[in-house]
Amino acid sequence: INRGIKLFDELIIAVGRSPIKNPLFTPEERVEMIAELVADIPGVSVESFDGLTVEYAAKKKANAILRGLRSLTDVQYEFKLAMTNRAVAGIETVFVMTSEEYGFTSSTLIREVASLGGNVSNLIPKNIYNRLQQQVKKNKARSTKSEIRNKYE
């Protein structure tokens, strides 16, 4: 985000709803957490959207979509996505390499480690870590109730 705002006058962090993924937080909760992190960065805003990212970018009259790359696997996937986005809406994709400290992390990895009781406090911002801990506790309580219910059904 800090590097992205140096490349563009305005940066919209677009939080999408994915029918494929099963996130711990709602898009609204994710927008709220990210907005807390970027509140002091001029030119950066956070919004949620439904549908394709490229269609949202076109609706916002964006010049480009900024994406982070973590690994060679990301490059292959993102290259195909960038070519498709350009063909569909004529919007370019700009890539930045993820900082070394975050190159190996993903939301899935963070979620899995946290749900198994691992410490991820040094991998994510404090406000998100606190919310993640609360969410993991809620999910454990739900799954325990479900296990008890299933046992007696």
> Rounded to an integer, what distance in angstroms lies between the CA atom of residue 130 and that of residue 125?
9
Orientation angle between helical segments 107-115 and 126-151, nearest 10 degrees: 60
In the chain, where are the structural domains located?
105-153
Q: pLDDT in tens for each of the 153 residues of the chain?
A: 999 999 999 999 999 988 887 788 999 999 999 999 999 999 999 999 999 999 999 999 999 999 999 888 889 999 999 999 999 999 999 999 988 877 788 888 999 999 999 999 999 999 999 999 999 988 877 665 554 555 555
Q: What is the DSSP string of the chain?
A: -TTHHHH-S-EEEEEE--SS---SS-HHHHHHHHHHHHTTSTTEEEEEE-S-HHHHHHHTT-SEEEEEE-SHHHHHHHHHHHHHHHHHH--EEEEEEPPGGGTT--HHHHHHHHHTT---TTTS-HHHHHHHHHHHHHHHHHHHHHHHHHHT-
